Chain A
């Protein structure tokens, strides 16, 4: 075929209409992806392309974070290539996409063992942000963001334990959907902190993310689309850069919805501490052996050693409080609203050197600004959407994070579809 359309849903329509064969569509996507990988290196392994299956995603060739088991293949998890392993089955999420007819042509780089809010990784070439070569690519699903933003894959799966889908999506101007905890099985996905780990989707367009979500959770019914309901907006006074806050205020004022400001600073601080405790303890548990024998990656050590020094009782207390705190949060902060809007990043997207640990320009505050508003969402298990809303003075993405009640992913995507695209044309 001559040229691939901008959206995956458009290609699906072409295939359904018989304007292009599924096989030709697959070959065109793989050729484009392989060609762009020279400019935006993010592929770990190119995979043999299997014949397209039957289903809504037949003819769609995707690439995903190298954290998922594939049939007869174990993932490299950001520290090396994947390797063959007989009798290994594809992760549940990968299998669900296969069931819907999708193919996978590549695995994508990630922060080592999913530890890191940026793409920093000494095992692979530095990720380049397709929107701006000087801007950071967030992590840990960094390759997923690069591949989608560069046009190498219409969508990509990632995982999100403390922002690892939303942060790279925010730095690359993409839709990033962190799903409700447990809505998509993490079976066959290398764990980091299982109580927080969620499978997520990165895409350019909300419509494409919805197709992937529908394949991952076909039992999750989509209610009839309605106009945007009430929203609550939290813009912490001293916790977000003025430029970002102003862009969000401007966007919210134009939203076809009633937007009411609220303050949740006290609850946020407490929830963040609970989230940190769980992240630290469970990361230490996952990587206990390599932490104790000194072979753990530096980024794993940064989290895991803290976890080894955390009293077990603190972790247990945070886990035991989780259900009640979720109920309290939903009651207090959603109340009569459907969506809770807050910043994705606390500051404009930084230059990559600024958040590269060990670089002379490294700024710890800039790194913190990437993940400040992420972890508590994983503790609560809520679905969250990164949504690009504007460009900053340098042309980089400004994004909001939209939270919804559990299992309201379709409604988040409804909202995203109402927002005009900032970076990608239709």
Chain B
């Protein structure tokens, strides 16, 4: 994922690559729509300290019950 110092990625290319990795051959209109969606969902890279294993989520729910 890009960080704040990087220019915005090429969303068209990102979408094409994602579709290909899923074994799906989209029309140009679908690629454009997906790229538009990616532009909306693009975020700066999450700070490494914010990342935890997915398995921790259920545990965090229990911990936050008493936070």
Contacts and interface: CB of A to CB of B under 8 A. Distances in A.
Nearest to B35: A309
Interface string B45-65: 110011111101111111111
Main secondary structure of the interface of B (DSSP, over half): helix
| Chain B CB within 10 A, most for which of A270, A324, A407 | A324
B22 to A, nearest CB: 5
Given A309-B15, A309-B34, A323 B67 contact: no
Given A314-B41, A325-B50, A381-B61, A309 B23 contact: no
Contact of B67 (A284, A306, A327): A327
B8 to A, nearest CB: 14
| Chain B CB within 10 A, most for which of A277, A309, A311, A320 | A309
Contact of B26 (A305, A312, A317): A305
B26 A324 contact: no
Contacts of B56: 323
A317 B1 contact: yes
A284 B17 contact: no
B35 to A, nearest CB: 8
A310 B18 contact: yes
B51 A320 contact: yes
Contacts of A292: 22-24
Contacts, number: 115
Contact of B61 (A180, A306, A319, A324): A180
A288 B61 contact: no
B60 A326 contact: yes
A308 B19 contact: yes
Contact of A320 (B17, B46, B60): B46
A95 interface: no
Contacts of A182: 58, 61
A313 B66 CA distance: 32
Interface string A296-337: 000000000110111111100101111111111011001000
Contact of A273 (B17, B40, B49): B40
A276 interface: yes
B38 A334 contact: no
Interface in A3-22: none
A260 B23 CA distance: 51
B49 to A, nearest CB: 8
Interface in B7-29: 14-15, 17-19, 21-24, 26
Contact of B65 (A181, A280, A288, A406): A406
Interface string A276-288: 1100100010001
Given A309-B30, A406-B65, A408-B65, A323 B46 contact: no
| Chain B CB within 10 A, most for which of A276, A280, A320 | A320
A288 B24 CA distance: 9
Contact of A323 (B15, B26, B43, B57): B57
B31 A406 contact: no
A328 B67 CA distance: 11
A291 interface: yes
Given A306-B37, A309-B15, A324-B51, A291 B61 contact: no
A141 B52 CA distance: 33
B67 A405 contact: yes
B62 to A, nearest CB: 7
A281 to B, nearest CB: 10
A326 B61 CA distance: 8
Contact of A305 (B30, B51, B64, B66): B30
A310 B38 contact: yes
Contacts of B34: 305-306, 308-310
5 contacts: A182-B61, A292-B24, A317-B46, A321-B52, A327-B64
